[in-house]
A and B are shown apart, each in its own frame.
Chain A
Amino acid sequence: VKFTPWKTFVAGGALILVANAVALGGVYLNHHGTVDSRVALSQRELGVGSWRGDALAVCRT
């Protein structure tokens, strides 16, 4: 197979566009439809880090 710059750009560009379309399509489908539950977070929960130590510290308080 001869990889000319133009052919490579078309193939690479198509790949990037398809990958983005699949990812964004998945996001659209995921956000589509009616909301069946909501969780309201206060400032306190939002401040909790993902590290277990932080979570344990919050639990203790």
Chain B
Amino acid sequence: MNTKRLTFCALLTAIALTIFMVEAQIPPLAPVPGMKLGLANIVTVYAMFALGPADALMILLCRVFLGALFAGGSTFFYSLAGGLCCYLVMLPLRKLLTVKQLWVCGALSSIAHNVGQVGMAILIARTPALITYLALLLPVGILTGAFTGLAAQFLLSRLDGKLKL
């Protein structure tokens, strides 16, 4: 990893963290625990396709840890479980999707994020009934995920070739 690449990763982490912090200030869209736009995922999807899995993982983990540090740690384990599930689903998608299909990556990773988050909540609270929330989280997550994926897709197509790392 050269200095330029490291700087670019740091920049993306800062952008992801900023988006994350700003989004945390928006009042809940619906009274459903865990439901949010997930705008910070734009950066993860972009990093996965533009930089590769290793850099994407570093950016994701840094954002989750720093996010917990800045926004209060109460949701750290949910973010971590969701983020890692999201990452694991994105890994094979890198080979399965074209650069014009990042919206699919956004939607599928959003599903994975919700499943990981609810799974962690069930583990922590030991209340299997929380699984009912997936019925609300998934449809909304697919739509917001497709949107954030599309945002990453536009970003990738506009920055493609202009970036010499």
A binds B: no
